[in-house]
Amino acid sequence: MVRIGVIGFGYWGPNILRNFSGLESVEVKYVCDLNEGALKRAQRAYPGVSLTTCSRDITRAADVDAVAIITPVATHYELAREALENGKHVFVEKPFTYTVDEAKRLIEIAEKKSLRIMIDHTFLFTGAVRNSKGLFAQTDGGTLFLDEIGDMPLSLQAKLLRVLQERQFYPLGSEKPLNVDIRLIVATNKDLEAEVRKGSFREDLFYRVHVIPVRIPPLRERREDIIPLAEHFLRKTSEKMKKEVKGLTPLAIQKLMLHDWPGNVRELENAIEYAVVTSRSEVIADEAILPFRETLSASPKPFKEAKEDFEKEYLNWVLQIAEGNVSKAAGMAGKYRADFYSLLRKYDLKPEDFKKT
């Protein structure tokens, strides 16, 4: 008999609990839910069960063997961590967002304490109690993308390497191997060779995944992409927020072009989303762009290099606004057409690249 506590009972609580096939005999000791209707459903399903509102304290005090987290709430990570820290197995049914560090921490706690943790029926970790169709099985014949592989714990790296080498794995609860044929794409913002030297990334796995490396330069090295990306995020956010925001002022564009974007595309997307949400007009003004940050780099470059960077960024900016019309761009810059063309040749900029199709 497994004594279990349920957090976030929701509508399908009883059905979901029955799906935990590894828990053949379950005694539900308590149900936590903020919704009164869910608590009434729990009382009907499990007469006499203890009903309470969700609290981190419950994972410490309750006399249970396991905690099942069913419906998504903001405190899922903390509840799961508290349960594991207090020696209780954890089952999580509904998908919700973990950061890489959070997921890594949960795995480390589970392995250290020899506990079972199952998340969303697809990510199966130490001693999981259910035979599920995981990511590799679901992706058979297709492409699997693993983001931030540089943050993967060494224990999972060994398992991934085994699957890549043998092209098969044993599903949990099965003695028969399952063959898989996938194309694997991985991404990381870390220097994996440096991680190998530090011992935090397996060298054999590195050579397995480092077959056709593709380096995506940071946004500061491809400033010509800033405005097209900003316009894309503006349209996307405007549609999502149901707001009529149609463009950026020249000063807003200048501010975007001068920022170094240490957070790359994600930072740009967040900046545009903030600008759209706070904007009260159809055009984003410069005051709405990165209002809490300096736009210039903290460490100054040599004057010649900084001057050339500015010239190239400025030319990109005016060509974007003029949509590739050289006469218009030269007029905005206060330059003769011949001088403007000389600058374009100097920085290998082609007006046709800025024309809207």
Residue-wise pLDDT tens digits, 144-157:
888 888 888 887 88
**Per the domain annotation, does 20 fall within a domain?**
yes
d(CA 20, CA 17) in angstroms, rounded, equals 6
Give the pLDDT band of residue 171 (cuts 50, 70, 90): low
Residue 130: the pLDDT is 42
φ/ψ bin of 127: left (φ > 0), alpha (ψ from -120 to 50), beta (otherwise): left
Structure token digits, residue 218: 């940071």
Sequence-separated contacts (24+) of 111-117 with Cβ below 8 Å: 111/155, 113/84, 113/87, 115/84, 115/87, 115/88, 115/89, 115/90, 116/66, 116/89, 116/90, 116/91, 117/80, 117/84, 117/89, 117/90, 117/91, 117/92
Give the pLDDT mean for 233-248.
88
Cα distance from N-terminal residue to C-terminal residue, the chain: 67
Residue 162 has pLDDT above 50, yes or no: yes
Does 113 or 18 have the greater pLDDT score?
113
* 156 and 120 both lie in a single domain: no
The pLDDT tens digits for 67-79 are 777 665 545 667 7
Q: What is the pLDDT, as a whole number, of residue 61?
A: 55
- Is residue 151 in some structural domain? yes
Specify the range with the lowest mean pLDDT, choosing from 165-174, 192-201, 248-257, 341-350: 165-174
- Note whether residue 214 is domain-resident: no
How far is Cα 342 from Cα 307, in angstroms, rounded to an integer? 16
178-179 and 168-169 beta bridge pairing: antiparallel
Q: What mean pLDDT do residues 190-217 have?
A: 90
**Residue 339 scores a pLDDT above 80:** yes
- 173 and 63 share one domain: no
What CATH number corresponds to the domain at position 83?
Answer: 3.40.50.720
Q: Is residue 327, in this structure, part of any structural domain at all?
A: yes
- What's the total number of domains in the chain? 3
Same domain, 225 and 245: yes
CATH of the domain at 288: 1.10.8.60
Q: Are residues 44 and 164 in the same domain?
A: no
Name which of 173-182, 215-224, 280-289 the model is least confident about: 173-182
CA distances from 60 to 17, 84, 107 (A): 21, 10, 19
Residue 57 shares a structural domain with residue 11: yes
223 and 344 in a common domain: yes
**In a domain? residue 106:** yes
Residues 35 and 60 in one domain: yes
> Is there a domain that residue 129 lies in?
no
pLDDT higher for 123 or 7? 7
Average per-residue pLDDT for the chain: 77
Range of the domain at 24: 2-124
Asked whether 92 and 80 are in contact (CB, 8 A), the reply is yes
Question: In the listed set 209, 228, 262, which residue is the last one of a domain according to the structure?
Answer: 209
Residues 253 and 310 in one domain: yes
Whether residues 249 and 278 fall in one domain: yes
Which string of b and e fits 128-159 if b means at least 16 CB within 10 Å?
bbbebebebeebeeeeeeeebbbbbbeeebee
pTM here? Answer: 0.45
